[in-house]
Structures are given as C-alpha cells and as structure tokens.
Amino acid sequence: MAAVCNIAMIGQKLTARAHCNAFLKVPRFFNLPLQPVMYSVVGADLISLAPFADRWGWRKYSTAWKEAIKDPAVNLVDITGPNHLHAEQAVAAISAGKHVACEKPLADSLKNARLMRNAAVRSRTVKSFVWFNYRRVPAVSVALQLIREGRLRKIRHVRASFLQNWGGADAALSWRFQKKYAGSGAHGELNAQLIDLARFLTGSEFIELTGALNETLIVERALPEPPGRNANRIREPKRRTTGKSDVDDTSILIGRMTGGVLARLEASRVAAGHQNDLSIEIDGDGGAIRFDLYDMNALRFYDGQEDRRTAGWRRIVCTAAGKHPYAGAWWSDGQGLGYEHTYVHMAADMFASLGGEQPATPLPDFADAYETQRVLEAAMLAAKHRAAVKLTEIK
C-alpha cells in the first residue's frame, strides 16, 4: 500500500478549486508512489470555507494558516492565495519541514522571492514546487522533447504572448490591480508564465532585458462589491466609489538569452478578442515549434530539415498513449484535454517526485522560479529607466 501525503492547502478561490480538482483526480488517473490526501484547507472567510471544504472532501478547515502549516500530520503545504503572502507562508512551511508548492508568480517582489529561494535551498529535506502548469500541457512537453533532441538546431527566436481582455475599464479594483497585494499586474501574472516557458523550452537564460513597456492604461477603477452582497444583482453606481490601480495592464519585453536567442514577450489584460490566449513560438536554424493554448491538444512543428517541396508546419495532435507525455493516463487518441488537466499533470509529477520517482516533465522549484522572478524584475527596471538592464545587475 502506498504511503500517504497529507496536503494543507491555503486558499479557496478559483485557483484553489483547480488544485482541489487535481488532487481529487490525480490518484484515479495516475499510478502514484504516494497517495495524496486532502487533509486541511485554510481560507479567510469561514462562512464560505465550510461548504467549500465539504464539497471537495477536505478533512479539516480553518482560517489559521500558521497552525495549519505546523500540524505534524501535514506533509505538503500548497499555497494558492495572493502573491504578497507567498513568502511568509512558504518560509514558514519550509521552517516547519514541510514540502511546499506555491502558485505562480513566486512572489510579489524580488526580495520576497529571494527569501523563498534561500529557505528552499538551505533546507536539505524539503522539496519546493511552483505551479507553472503550462509546462505540463502534453504539447508543450513534446516541444521540449523535440528541442532537446536537436530538431530545431541553433535557436534564434522566442516569441510569446499571453493576451487576455478581462481587464478593461469595466473590471473592478480587485487585489490583482493593486501593487501591495499583487506586486505587478499582467507582468507578474502572465509574463511570469511566458518567461518560465521560454527558459524551460530553450534551456537558455536571459542575459539582458533590452527594452520593456509596462503600462497602467486604466488607472481609475470601481471598487468591487463588498463581500456578502450579491454580485449578480443590478449595480448601483451612485453608491460606488473608485480607487486607483497601480499595476500594469500590459507589459511587453524584448531581450537576449544565452546561446544567441532573442526573445520577445508580451502580456496584456486589455487585448480585445483574446480571452486567454497564450502562444509561444521558437525558431531555430533547423526548424520551429509553436504552441497555442487555444488549440492546446496540438503542437505545431516545422521541420526545416525536410526538403522545401514537402516541408510545412504540421499540427501534431498530442493525445496518443505511449507516444505523448500524459496521454496514456486519459482517453482514447484524439479525445482532448482542457485547462484543468495541466494541474492534474503537475500534481502527478509532484507526487511522483515526492515519492522518489522521475516526473514526466522537469518540475520548477523555488530556485528555478527565482530566475524567472529576476527576469520580471529586470523588465520592470528596464521599463522604468527606458534602457537596457543586464541580468547581472539583478541579484
């Protein structure tokens, strides 16, 4: 019988729900060396937390994260709340000798990210993970395979964008629009994922942020409805007051990576027509790959070593068991996966790793995510100073 891994999860919002679903499903679809147990959940709002815990089958729930972390039964602390709390919670978990998984971005600031990295690196027993879930789309894993096999030869270009449109003038001033909670806006939330993917897929590291735009396009935003009020009823604009957003709505970067790779990344929350449009393309002397989240079960591949007569971008549907990572755990060939499966795959790899096995795709730890955070910081400085920033300037 497999050993168990008791999870204490912090958070009860949208992302927490994706984690719950992953923990519920992963033992049904994957053969794991460790059995995850949904042990305790921590939230800020006890009234909504109780039914949440009940719905997902958490054994305990509370509003006291410090106590929850210290519980001797807990093996893994899973952090899904606002960015500004990541560092304190993660460091506490590591101090308590717990493995720790943290949502992206690693932290709200480079300083806090460094605290987390240092705590993780110093610990000899604790494993750290960061939920860069898009690494674990099967198509992205296949892209990594092809690149590692040298199918692209020397890489020249990384182009990536993550475009959303929910952050227009109508969007209320949630914590995601406030620097004190979020650290940054589209930049930290979306570019962090592009930077992770760029580093992960190319194996190169950023050396310079040559230029960056980082803009708060919509400053004045309505305050959100107070909790407990019905979000769906007719709005009463008179009673509303507004506040100021101080994070970027869009952030665009250009930079250089080791090995001569040039990178261009772009994130926006005000890109009309794009609900959740992540794409990344990598071009090399021998070919190119492209991934579009809108067609997430497929990888585009251009094999430049084929004769031009028959060379062309091909669409590889990455759902064949035994051929494509993770595919064998699911349905028959051609049956698509969705957003939530990236979390299940992350959970599968995490419990494999905690149980002493190899993950199907390399896992990012705090040290790895810290490198991504340094790039975020460099980009913010480059945008601020309107000049290139070398990564060596960012400790």
Among residues 112 and 287, whose Cβ is nearest to a copy of itself?
287
Nearest to 100 by CA among 78, 133, 71: 78
Contact between 185 and a copy of itself per CB under 8 A = no
Quote the CA–CA distance of 390 and 386 in Å, as a whole number.
Answer: 13
How many residues comprise the chain?
395
Contact between 340 and a copy of itself per CB under 8 A = yes
Contact between 382 and a copy of itself per CB under 8 A = yes
Instruction: Check: CB of residue 174 under 8 Å from CB of residue 225.
Output: no
Binding-residue pattern over the window 81 to 120 for a copy of itself, x denoting contact by CB under 8 A: ----------------------------------------
Shortest reach from residue 321's CB to a copy of itself, in Å: 10
Strand-pairing partners, residue 34, are 3
Please state whether 109 falls in left (phi above 0), alpha (psi between -120 and 50) or beta.
Answer: beta
Among 203, 286, 355, 362, binds a copy of itself (CB under 8 A): 286
The dihedral of CA 147, 277, 322, 316: what is its sign? Answer: negative
Shortest reach from residue 145's CB to a copy of itself, in Å: 8
Quote the CA–CA distance of 76 and 40 in Å, as a whole number.
Answer: 10
Shortest reach from residue 99's CB to a copy of itself, in Å: 24
Among residues 235 and 323, whose Cβ is nearest to a copy of itself?
323
Supply 181's token pair: 């909670």
Residue 72 has, within 13 A of its CA and on its CB side, a CA count of 0
Binding-residue pattern over the window 4 to 43 for a copy of itself, x denoting contact by CB under 8 A: ----------x---x-xx--xx-xx---------------
Give CA angle at 350 (30, 21), nearest 5°: 60
Among 127, 341, 345, 374, binds a copy of itself (CB under 8 A): 341
Among residues 27 and 224, whose Cβ is nearest to a copy of itself?
27
Contact between 234 and a copy of itself per CB under 8 A = no
Residues within window 249-278 making contact with a copy of itself, judged by CB under 8 A: 250, 252, 254, 256, 260, 262, 264, 266, 268, 270-277
